[in-house]
Amino acid sequence: MLQSDLGVCLTWKHKRKTLHCDTSRNLAIMKFLKNLFDSNKVWAANIKEADPEFFTKLANQQRPDYLWIGCADSRVPANEILNIMPGEIFVHRNIANVVVHTDLNCLSVIQYAVDVLKVRHIIVCGHYNCGGINAAMDNSEHGLIDNWLRHIKDVYRFHKKQIDAMDNEKDKLDLLCELNVIEQVANVCHTTIVQNAWASGQELAVHGWIYRVSDGILRDLDVCTTGIHEIAKIHRIA
């Protein structure tokens, strides 16, 4: 009986200790994300091996030629898709790569990129099968994000006839992904930041691209805009 009690007691103590260890280990993982720091060390070491001066040079200045405005989707990271190194592209990302006239975050990024970094290209890049676009096209309530998705519903409303004429849902969503990029390119061009840069003779092209997650390939939507004469008169600032 005593043995049995002792056995139960030891087992319980062992379980409690194991539970405590598991909890501590989980807490350590939650707090410190050691796997990511380990991965970072490997990445930095690989880059240093290829170019021992890389980080020293990068620390002294950034001079990117490009500003990327893309979706926050984890499958669409600018540097990896373009196969370019840190320092080569300035990046702003949000849900469904939207450029809103009152979004001080996005506008500040554009201003810094254009006025200070003097980028020569702004790339608005969307992607097919975008969760933000899909969510905007249904009638469910998604919470706070519905206020953001309304900008995409506006894009649908502007192009309703063209989108509704598509045969199936997939084609409709794909077309909305493309039209959303085209609208956001226009929104970038309508900013005083871009128009003032053009007025001062700064060379600046605004591009609209789309990316397909399922094959990793980018496509140019052929809406590149390089001057005030290419935008609608109503949006021109003299």
Task: Determine whether 38 is an active site residue.
Answer: no
Alpha helices in the chain (DSSP H): 2-32, 34-50, 54-60, 78-82, 104-111, 131-136, 145-158, 160-164, 169-190, 192-199
For 227, the enclosing helix (H) or strand (E) is none
d(CA 63, CA 57): 11
Task: Determine whether 73 is an active site residue.
Answer: yes
Contact pattern from residue 101 through residue 130 relative to Zn ion, giving x for each residue in contact according to CB under 5 A and a dash for the rest: -----------------------------x
Residue whose CB is less far from Zn ion, 64 or 132 = 132
Please give the single-letter amino acid code of residue 49. E
Which listed residue (92, 106, 125, 127) is catalytic?
127
Task: Determine whether 207 is an active site residue.
Answer: no
d(CA 104, CA 200): 23
Which listed residue (14, 20, 75, 235) is catalytic?
75
* Torsion 123-129-130-136 (CA) sign: positive
Residue whose CB is less far from Zn ion, 124 or 130 = 130
Is residue 73 near Zn ion by the rule CB under 5 A? yes
Q: CB of residue 159 vs Zn ion: minimum separation in angstroms? A: 18
Residues touching Zn ion, count (CB under 5 A): 4
Task: Determine whether 21 is an active site residue.
Answer: no
3-state secondary structure of 194: helix
Q: CB of residue 184 vs Zn ion: minimum separation in angstroms? A: 12
> At 180, phi and psi to the nearest 5?
-65, -40
- Secondary structure letter of residue 238 according to DSSP: -
Task: Determine whether 127 is an active site residue.
Answer: yes
Residue whose CB is less far from Zn ion, 71 or 114 = 71
3-state secondary structure of 71: strand
Is residue 210 near Zn ion by the rule CB under 5 A? no
d(CA 212, CA 221): 13
**Which residue is it, tokens 């092209």?**
205
d(CA 103, CA 201): 26
Q: CB of residue 188 vs Zn ion: minimum separation in angstroms? A: 18
Q: CB of residue 131 vs Zn ion: minimum separation in angstroms? A: 6
Contact pattern from residue 42 through residue 71 relative to Zn ion, giving x for each residue in contact according to CB under 5 A and a dash for the rest: -----------------------------x
Which listed residue (73, 106, 174, 177) is catalytic?
73
Is residue 194 near Zn ion by the rule CB under 5 A? no
Q: CB of residue 96 vs Zn ion: minimum separation in angstroms? A: 5
Residues forming the active site: 71, 73, 75, 127, 130
List contacts with Zn ion (CB under 5 A): 71, 73, 130, 132
